[in-house]
Structure 1
Amino acid sequence: MDRGSMRTLIVLALVGLGAQLVDGSLGMAYGVTSTTLLLAAGTNPAAASATVHLAEIGTTLASGASHWRFGNVDWRVVLKIGVPGAVGAFAGATFLSSLSTEIAAPVMSLILLALGVYVLTRFTFVGLSSSNLGKPLRKRFLSPLGLVAGFVDATGGGGWGPVGTPAILASGRMEPRKVIGSIDTSEFLVSVAASVGFLAGLGHEGIELTWVAGLLIGGVIAAPLAAWLVRHIPPRVLGSAVGGVIVVTNVRTLLNSDWLGASGAVSTVVYVLLYLAWAGALAYSVREYRRNAAEERELVRQAEAAEARSAAAQREEEPAVSN
């Protein structure tokens, strides 16, 4: 391997590591980040998506195993959303060369933006609602969601997480860490199906195995750390972080679309305002989490003190009873 190829491998490994760290912690962004890099390097959309999905076969397998090890996976959800997702991904990969997503992308971004705003505000100001927590997610909800998310993922080079994660989070029926773990694990099925579709339609044309290897190496290294992080980040803070990622990602898509075609100056102002709002939301979530945790610790302390006083009083009465 020459020096240039080695440098490319190292750069892509670092990109894969960073992308998987975010994806494994927040349930999205590996495909979007990696595909953006490949497109910027001049790869055609189909080959870029094929390269990313081939790498994701390994990264999602490692990520799923890590999330399972840390107890972040609901296997019923994995199957209910993953199998339809694989069908949608295969269809999207097969027809990518003849499909235009230029019109569909802004529409999808508007839907995702609305979901992102909902997730961000809900977790920031309300926290994790326990009213629906633990209720089963129905197949009639997960199957269409998986089909659409898989199709978007294959045709856009990413989208499984951005579509699936906010939709399930918004239901309030699963803890954020289990939403992220289940979405990451089910993405293995999507990646395999999309790769089969791309290989059937493109062969090896335009697919650089060195790029696949680089993205794969970085992703596999990051997978265990990301699964550990998602288990230890408070659900309220995690929900605010995920919501912010969804909002920023889809605002970027809309600003760059033909619908808006925003100038660089306008985009910069919008990004600055978004990041400031996101930082404020995260700070508020952290503060409220700490306040609620302190209140819970105080309640536990008071209960233990009351129990200790009751036990002491009972011990004092025992001699009197025996006399």
Structure 2
Amino acid sequence: MIEFISENWQNILPFIAVGFAAQMIDGALGMAFGVINSTLMVSVLGIPPATASASVHLVESFTTAASGISHVLHKNVDWKLFARLVIPGMIGGALGAYLLSNIDASVAKPYVMTYLASIGIYLLFRAWRGQIEPRQPRIIEPLGLAGGFLDAAGGGGWGPVVTSNLLIQGASPRTTIGTVNTVEFFLTTTISATFIANIGFKAFTLTTAGLLIGGLIAAPFGGYLAKRVPARTLMAMVGILLTLTSLYTVYSALR
């Protein structure tokens, strides 16, 4: 039975606002929905990590579908890149979700986030220098596998890992963001199915409903923003977001 029916619906408004803001950023920059929501839910709202991760992935199954459709309609998807990412990403996600109970992902998290922060700084440098000439990325399938695994095992990370590394290799910011967002639907659906099989629908609470409503409202705008914002600006925004969120996560883990 869905638990939030009898709740005071005024309490859902903060979660709608968080879901809306996180999805606007994620749709435009190809990352951060899971990172933002998981951080706020655990650190600020006191939601247990397992519940937060399950809730976020369940919500993302819907928001990434809407966001992916928006990117397809705005022609932001590189279908060759999509085909090379989607299967490895789903395999990595399934492995990460399956092994989550046996592997302490928090041990490696500070190191991964330090790496991502350094990538964010490098992307900022490239945007400042204007070095955004598109090149065809070469390392794709292993990247999809690693990104899917880290996303499931660590409660988030598909966008930061995959989008940032493709940009490092010289991929176009607009099509990279659109493609990574579209692939993410298949990844989050795979991860969510694993969570539901293990814990049922217990994670579908008032929090989940709020994030879902806010995310679905914002999702159609992501494709438009990614198409309209200049490539240099997109890269700078990705760099800033990646650096700040990664450094905050490292600080929280080490204090």
Check the 8 A contact 2:106/2:154 in 1, yes or no.
Answer: no
Q: 1:69 aligns with which of 65, 69, 73?
A: 73
Q: Which residue of 1 aligns with 2:161?
A: 163
Unaligned runs of 5+ in 1: 262-323
Distance 2:18 2:159 in 1: 18
Listed as ranges, the matches of 1:175-186 within 5 Å are 175-186=172-183
State the distance in 2 between where 1:150 and 1:5 align: 36
CA contact (8 A) 1:91 1:197 kept: no
Map of 2:210 onto structure 1: 214
2:61 corresponding residue in structure 1: 57
Distance 2:220 2:188 in 1: 19
Does the aligned pair in 2 maintain the 1:77–1:182 contact within 8 Å? yes
CA RMSD of aligned residues (A): 1.6
Partner of 1:192: 189
Contact 2:15–2:210 under 8 Å retained in 1: yes
Instruction: Tell me how far 1:123 sits from its aligned partner.
Output: 1.5
2:25 aligned residue: 22
TM-score, length-normalised on structure 1? 0.73
Residue 295 of structure 1 is matched in structure 2 by none
Q: Is the 8 A contact 1:55 1:212 kept in 2?
A: yes
Higher relative contact order (CA 8 A, sep 6+): 2
| Sequence identity (%) | 40
Map Cα deviations across residues 187-237 of structure 1 (whole Å, 9 max, x no partner).
0011011111112222334x1343322212111111121211111111111
Offset from partner CA, 1:66-122 (integer Å, 9 cap, x none)? 011111111221221121111111121222233212220011112212211111101
- Contact between 1:89 and 1:151, CA under 8 Å: does it hold in 2? yes
* Aligned-partner Cα distance in 1 for 2:124–2:76: 21
Distance 2:205 2:249 in 1: 29
Aligned length: 250
The residue correspondences of 1:111-150 to structure 2 (distance < 5 A) are: 111-130=115-134, 132=135, 135=136, 137-138=137-138, 141-150=139-148
For 1:204, the equivalent position in structure 2 comes to: 201
TM-score by length of 2: 0.92
In the alignment, is the contact (CA less than 8 A) between 1:124 and 1:239 conserved in 2?
no
Unaligned 5+ runs, structure 2: none
